[in-house]
A = this chain, B = another copy of it.
């Protein structure tokens, strides 16, 4: 990735002259200023830069920093200044920032907002986290039906400053019910006296305040939307969600799914920033659960002590057989869990996926049986090599099918299928693997 040269900022901050710092800051966009501030929080130059910025830019820069940094930078800000800062924030950033503050500060701050902003903030805070309502901005451009393209453009010119976007505007009726969406592209290209109602996009796409954020992101991606309108229960326009927020959601949801797949729970940050304690907490739960699950595998082995004692060579092949079951299951579970997350797989596909896995896992099992039989022939007697080869086919098939069915079952039960993590699948496959292996061994070799 092309990296940014912060030299002008470093020089200006070293000079100690406030005007030089402002001039240097003017060379950078808000995201890069935020990046510099985050990197230099310990060195205090980060905070110095932040304090040198004009208020409006400070509000913008805060939108690009982490929650911890937002708190750190504003903890010493006097209430009157904080009020001005918060007034400059976009509505969605404002709600996010507000919910970080402690209660007494929240109560002081909300009194400073004007009526409209206060109502707006209270409404946004009421939506549960992870829903469209919590994600949306109320700074959207809106027109009444019947005005012309040139009138619409004139309205946008005058109000642009306070809008999240002016590239998509929303046409509503007298009850604020959404009629349609008109793009600035169409407004610009149209003859000035065209009525906007004839410029609405076909196939209006909208969602509701209670839609989960991953569905929101998927809608925006599917329709290549710049912004998605969000409606309340009466189909009145309540807010919009822009593509940049959808992108963050896609990235965050992928991280959450990947973490879950590795049995790391509820960690809303990366390993670099997470504290040792939050890492411990997010990991210990599944580790302990899986220890108890593995006691079954141990019990399985103990149950077959006789046959193991009689043929110790069987132990040599145990790790590769049970691991193969787990690995085949890990693969099919990975494919199904990701498929459900992207909308590619739905529950009613189960029989089709099961049949396909039956075919694929059989082919995989045969290939691997041939491999281990060859290895076995060099290492042990033919009866054991044959036992191992037959077991391989059975365990790969069992693992593969468990990997298909478990995520679908969880999804059916309303549990996030990402809980069908590879370690969980591996553990279940281990138990099955041990039981299958020694049962086959007992049959072929005799007790």
Contact = CB atoms under 8 A, between A and B. Distances in A.
A42 interface: no
Interface stretch (A11-19, A102-110, A328-336): A328-336
A221 interface: yes
A272 B316 contact: no
A182 interface: no
Interface in A287-326: 287-288, 290-291, 294-295, 297-299, 301-302, 305, 308-309, 312, 315-320, 322-324, 326
Contacts of A250: 247, 250-251, 254
A385 B19 CA distance: 69
Copies in the complex: 2
Contacts of A226: 226, 243
A139 interface: no
A202 B335 contact: no
In this complex, which of A205, A280, A298 has the most chain B Cβ atoms within 10 angstroms of its Cβ? Answer: A298
A26 B208 CA distance: 24
Contacts of A219: 1-2
Contacts of A320: 291, 294-295, 297-298
Interface residues of A, number: 124
A328 B31 contact: no
B297 A333 contact: no
A261 B258 contact: yes
A16 to B, nearest CB: 23
A233 interface: no
B426 A326 contact: yes
10 contacts: A226-B243, A243-B244, A251-B342, A261-B261, A264-B335, A280-B363, A286-B331, A287-B328, A323-B423, A422-B426
Interface in A112-169: 153, 156-157, 160-161, 166-167
Given A202-B27, A250-B254, A270-B344, A184 B167 contact: yes
Contacts of A272: 339, 344-345, 349, 352-353
Interface stretch (A74-82, A366-374, A439-447): A366-374
A179 interface: no
A83 B272 CA distance: 53
Nearest to A332: B271
Contacts of A189: 157, 160-161
A29 B200 CA distance: 11
Interface in A249-276: 250-251, 254-255, 257-259, 261-264, 267, 270-273, 276
A261 B425 CA distance: 14
B221 A244 contact: yes
A344 B38 CA distance: 13
In this complex, which of A208, A308, A333, A364 has the most chain B Cβ atoms within 10 angstroms of its Cβ? Answer: A364
B339 A270 contact: yes
B262 A335 contact: yes
Given A287-B328, A308-B315, A360 B258 contact: no
Nearest to A400: B283
Given A166-B185, A188-B157, A1 B218 contact: yes
A298 B319 contact: yes
